[in-house]
């Protein structure tokens, strides 16, 4: 499969992609695109049960992410090692890990969280999201494409690779909208595989629909539609 038919999604926590981009992922999969997920943490600081051991929470959340991914047709789900929920920084270790998975997957497009704080909706700008977005931006340009960056990756047999598009979710200045109405049922089903994160599914469902409907109206798609929005950045050769 050519790199034009591969997408890499890099997110801070299990469920991040399903909250804001699950419908878009479903449309890519339906179009024949191979999608890989790379999750930086296991989400051990999440959930709502104070009695749950944190390592158990991470294991549960990883399994929830695998099930959610399968609901959308994604079977390649990878988890980084050594990064803890709530403690992520855009350091060399994280940039190297992102470069490694980019060189392994060799995607035309990378989807990540925005490194720009969104004051209009602070939920989008969890510190881990900002750190992962910054690390992905640095990895996409210039490090993943630079054969002299992180020589240890070349020693692993991972050649430099040029990503052509960077998609950012949660950016305060989106410039691209995806109509996800046709895949909405799958998008909801994927999100609610994350049972450890939703003590009130009906409330979350209503909020999700309202937000996606508002994005659709803003984009001129009209009432009764659902949409997701992104900032899309072409990467010059």
Burial of 190 (0-12, 13-18, 19+ CB in 10 A): buried
What's the pLDDT at 27?
98
What's the pLDDT at 189?
97
| Domain range enclosing 187 | 3-234
Question: Measured between alpha carbons, how far is residue 103 from residues 94, 112, 113, 121, 153 in Å?
Answer: 14, 16, 19, 33, 9
Q: pLDDT tens for the chain, 237 residues: list them.
A: 556 699 999 999 999 999 999 999 999 999 999 999 999 999 999 888 888 877 789 999 999 999 999 999 999 999 999 999 999 999 999 999 999 999 999 999 999 999 999 998 898 899 999 999 999 999 999 999 999 999 999 999 999 999 999 999 999 999 999 999 999 999 999 999 999 988 888 999 999 999 999 999 999 999 999 999 999 999 998
Question: Measured between alpha carbons, how far is residue 6 from residues 58, 99, 227, 229 in Å?
Answer: 27, 16, 22, 20
Angle at 162 between CA 159 and CA 167, to 5 degrees: 130
Report the CATH number at residue 73.
3.40.50.10320
Pair 140, 164: CB distance under 8 Å = no
What's the pLDDT at 3?
61
What's the pLDDT at 83?
97
Count structural domains, the chain.
1
- Rounded to whole angstroms, the Cα distance separating 106 from 6 reads 7
């Amino acid at each position: 499969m050519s790199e034009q038919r591969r997408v890499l999604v890099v997110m801070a926590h299990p469920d991040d992609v399903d909250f804001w981009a699950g419908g878009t992922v479903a449309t890519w999969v339906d179009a024949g695109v191979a999608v890989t997920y790379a999750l930086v943490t296991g989400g051990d600081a999440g959930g709502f049960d104070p009695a749950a051991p944190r390592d158990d929470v991470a294991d549960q959340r990883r399994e929830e992410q695998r099930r959610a991914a399968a609901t959308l047709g994604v079977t390649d789900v990878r988890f980084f090692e050594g990064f803890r929920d709530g403690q992520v920084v855009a350091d060399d270790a994280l940039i190297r890990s992102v470069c490694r998975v980019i060189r392994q997957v060799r995607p035309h497009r990378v989807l990540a969280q925005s490194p720009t704080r969104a004051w209009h909706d602070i939920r989008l700008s969890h510190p881990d999201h900002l750190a992962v977005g910054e690390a992905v931006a640095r990895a996409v340009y210039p490090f993943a494409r630079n054969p002299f960056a992180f020589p240890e990756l070349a020693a692993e047999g991972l050649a430099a690779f040029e990503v052509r598009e960077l998609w950012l979710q949660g950016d305060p200045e989106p410039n691209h909208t995806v109509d996800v109405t046709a895949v909405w049922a799958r998008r909801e089903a994927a999100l609610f595989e994350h049972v450890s994160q939703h003590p009130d599914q009906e409330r979350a469902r209503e909020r999700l629909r309202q937000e996606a409907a508002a994005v659709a109206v803003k984009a001129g798609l009209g009432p009764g539609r659902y949409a997701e929005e992104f900032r899309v950045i072409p990467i010059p050769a």
